[in-house]
Structure 1
């Protein structure tokens, strides 16, 4: 083996090891995740932060991993898969009726075509400051706008006094600085 090849292998190995070492030094904590979908025209199928995620079914799910301590300048990759037209296929056909909760061959064929609608979106975001965390709350707003809440006090401030009924999501969108109508 030539000296240059050997040197390249050594440098590559050291670079990989130093990357692993820096990740090993980063203490993490396991927390629950939850999806809040304020865009009633879509369905969120799943969401993740740096590859650690939850389904879009609602409620707390365990477990995600985040750095134990927030530091200024931290960023994360926020990724989600959405169904932008829950009841219509790319060919314009509506979902067949399911009787007695049993999937028919027609429904299975419709669903196979329907999955072509799904869209995955990925954004790098600044990781919001957190102290005490009550888990990751993914909030999906209209216009493919998404936010992440990690801090307990922030989550409490945003959700504590939300009205019920038809004003719930419009008020959440307003509080989070989102747009109700896309341009």
Structure 2
């Protein structure tokens, strides 16, 4: 092998190895995700962090992917789809009833109009620091304010000793420094 070919081979091998090393630095872990919606005027249909997401149906869903280790300066894109008016269409018409447990043509037509009004939202956020993780908790506050909690200690601090019933949402909004009403 000529000297130039040997040098080209070594450079190529080093480039491949350094590429593998940088991929190793970007290791990810799979964790559950959940949605907490404190805005009773909307429904969250789906939420994601850098494209990895869950439905807004409640409860833990598996699995989302996040970097295995948090590093200072990390950012993420949080995206969500919301139903801004779950009870009616923009013209004020209410959802038609189903018949014998089946959707009707009127309901399907209403739903097509309704789904066209879903809003897709997106926000670039600093990725909150995490060590031990209990999953990704998306918290939706009034005024299209969205937060993400990943660290177990932070989740425990926010959710411990929350009152039940009607005071749950308002106390969580207060703990997160969110607005209760929008301008």
Shorter-chain TM-score bucket reads: 0.7 to 0.9
Give the equivalent residue in structure 2 for 1:57: 57
Change (3 A) 1:98 1:175: same
Whole-Å separation in 2 of the counterparts to 1:145 and 1:123: 9
Q: After TM superposition, what 4+ stretches of structure 1 lie above 4 angstroms from structure 2?
A: 18-21
Give the equivalent residue in structure 1 for 2:110: 110
Q: Is the 8 A contact 1:90 1:116 kept in 2?
A: no
Change (3 A) 1:93 1:29: same
Q: What's the TM-score once normalised by structure 2's chain length?
A: 0.86
Change (3 A) 1:19 1:172: farther
1:20 deviation in Å? 8.6
What is the correspondence of 1:12-161 to structure 2 with a 5 Å cutoff?
22-23=22-23, 25-161=25-161
Change (3 A) 1:22 1:95: same
Please tell me the root mean square deviation across aligned C-alpha atoms, in Å: 1.9
SS of residue paired to 2:166: helix
SS of residue paired to 1:165: coil
Whole-Å separation in 1 of the counterparts to 2:23 and 2:43: 34
1:19 deviation in Å? 8.1
Structure 1: 5+ residue runs without aligned partners?
1-17
Whole-Å separation in 1 of the counterparts to 2:110 and 2:121: 24
Whole-Å separation in 1 of the counterparts to 2:100 and 2:180: 37
Structure 2: 5+ residue runs without aligned partners?
1-17
Change (3 A) 1:159 1:99: farther
Deviations 1:87-132 (A, max 9, x none): 1112221111234432111111100110111000111100000010
Q: What's the TM-score once normalised by structure 1's chain length?
A: 0.86
Give the equivalent residue in structure 2 for 1:164: 164
SS of residue paired to 1:48: strand
Whole-Å separation in 2 of the counterparts to 1:159 and 1:60: 15
